[in-house]
Amino acid sequence: MAELYLVILLTLLAGLAMPAGGLLASVENIRPFWLENELRHGIIAFGGGALLAAIALVLVPEGIQHLNLEAACGYFLLGSIGFMLLDILLFKLKTPASQLAAMLTDFIPESIALGAAFAYGGGSGILLALIIALQNFPEGFNAYRELQEGSHFSSITILLLFSLLALFGPVAGVIGYYYLADANGVLSAIMLFAAGGILYSVFQDIAPQAKLDKHWLPTLGAAIGFTFGLAGYILTH
């Protein structure tokens, strides 16, 4: 029961990184202006690095353990195709919530994987919680800016929405803990599907936004984000 409470706590804290990122994004007119501009691009790059860490250090290594070559590659590609189709749909609907949708579509499967990881033991659960929080913060930052610029929602409304969405984490974590700990094939498929989708999102949405003409420091955020994930991997192994 203590492990279950830990799953609920960790997934909730990781989810609350979304409104925390949104709260930072709500701070306007940081002076000087160049600092605000570089900060925004640096946070975007940091999120990309953290997402790559999730793929390289957790989702793919854990996901391929219980699947053969064809199934592993198939689920990974299916995730990328699924995220691409979602991207196309959101574009056609002209919704300002593409970053929000991407944030949820990797947060939920990763929370499921976190719950299952605690159920069958090992250090990957804590590492995954750290990486989820690291990626949710910049994703919350980006999603807030996107919603603010493309909708009529107030700042308070957006932050409350992000706080409510954080509750999906504990729900998904409990599902993973109780129902998927022994379903190794299903869990592996979910992890690889999420990994493929995240990789698509990194190159479709995050990497293009991270670059800032005639500025080189913000892109270093990607390496810093990955380094945080690497440090967590080393500490938990």
pLDDT at 215: 63
Torsion angles phi and psi, residue 215, rounded to 5: -135, 135
What string of H, E and C letters represents the secondary structure of the chain? CHHHHHHHHHHHHHHHHHHHHHHHHCCCCCCCHHHHHHHHHHHHHHHHHHHHHHHHHHHHHHHHHHCCHHHHHHHHHHHHHHHHHHHHHHHHHCCCCHHHHHHHHHHHHHHHHHHHHHHCCCCHHHHHHHHHHHHHHHHHHHHHHHHHHHCCCCHHHHHHHHHHHCCHHHHHHHHHHHHCCCCHHHHHHHHHHHHHHHHHHHHHHHHHHHCECCECCCCHHHHHHHHHHHHHHHHHC
pLDDT at 89: 85
pLDDT at 34: 46
* pLDDT digit string, tens, across residues 160-200: 999 999 999 999 999 988 887 778 888 889 889 988 988 88
Residue numbers in the chain where pLDDT is lower than 50? 34
pTM of the model: 0.79
